[in-house]
């Protein structure tokens, strides 16, 4: 079998940040790397699950909602993938920064966190999710949109 594109990225050189992972036609896959790979610090499942609900809800209700294809966690628990169509790198970064601000300050019931709406609604950790989003914000806010490549 051929090695898939994401396995061709040298994870020993990755740091926290946001990167254009791949382009498939007009769909861009963004790697939002919240944790340095293979350094022992990973998102907990509860934090990642909560961030997934908050990130997807915010992004799909934002000014960029028509350009959001998918938001989801990486299986390695070091970050998220954001798939977009029709956004410039600066707009994708703006959406991501806005989403992380929303998540860092979120209060209330997590959207979609009920038995009817989610297949594992009990595995949520809002305080941890907020802390992870707040820790990532300075990394994202320091980016300009010009350096979003591996």
In a domain, 150, yes or no: no
- Angle, nearest 10°, between helix axes 126-141 and 45-59? 60
- State the sign of the Cα–Cα–Cα–Cα dihedral 73, 131, 21, 26: positive
Range of the domain at 30: 14-136
CATH number at residue 30: 3.30.1360.80
For 69-81, the pLDDT digits (tens) are: 999 999 999 999 9
* Strand pairing category for 68-73 and 79-85: antiparallel
Whether 149 maps to a domain, the answer reads no
Tell me if 143 is assigned to some domain: no
- pLDDT tens digit sequence for 42-70: 999 999 999 999 999 999 999 999 999 99
Q: The pTM is what?
A: 0.95
In angstroms, the CA 35 to CA 1 distance is 29
């Amino acid at each position: 079998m051929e090695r898939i594109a994401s396995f061709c990225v040298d994870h020993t050189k990755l740091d926290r940040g946001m990167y254009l992972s791949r382009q498939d036609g007009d769909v861009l896959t963004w790697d939002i790397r919240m944790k340095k790979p293979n350094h022992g610090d990973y998102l907990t499942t509860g934090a990642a699950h909560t961030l997934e609900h908050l990130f997807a809800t915010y992004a799909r209700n934002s000014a960029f909602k028509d350009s959001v294809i998918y938001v989801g966690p990486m299986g390695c628990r070091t970050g998220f993938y954001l798939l977009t169509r029709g956004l410039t790198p600066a707009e994708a970064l703006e959406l991501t920064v806005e989403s992380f601000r929303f998540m860092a300050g979120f209060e209330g019931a997590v959207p979609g966190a009920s038995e009817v709406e989610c297949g594992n609604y009990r595995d949520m950790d809002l305080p941890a999710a907020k802390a992870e989003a707040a820790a990532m914000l300075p990394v994202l806010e320091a980016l300009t949109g010009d350096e979003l490549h591996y």
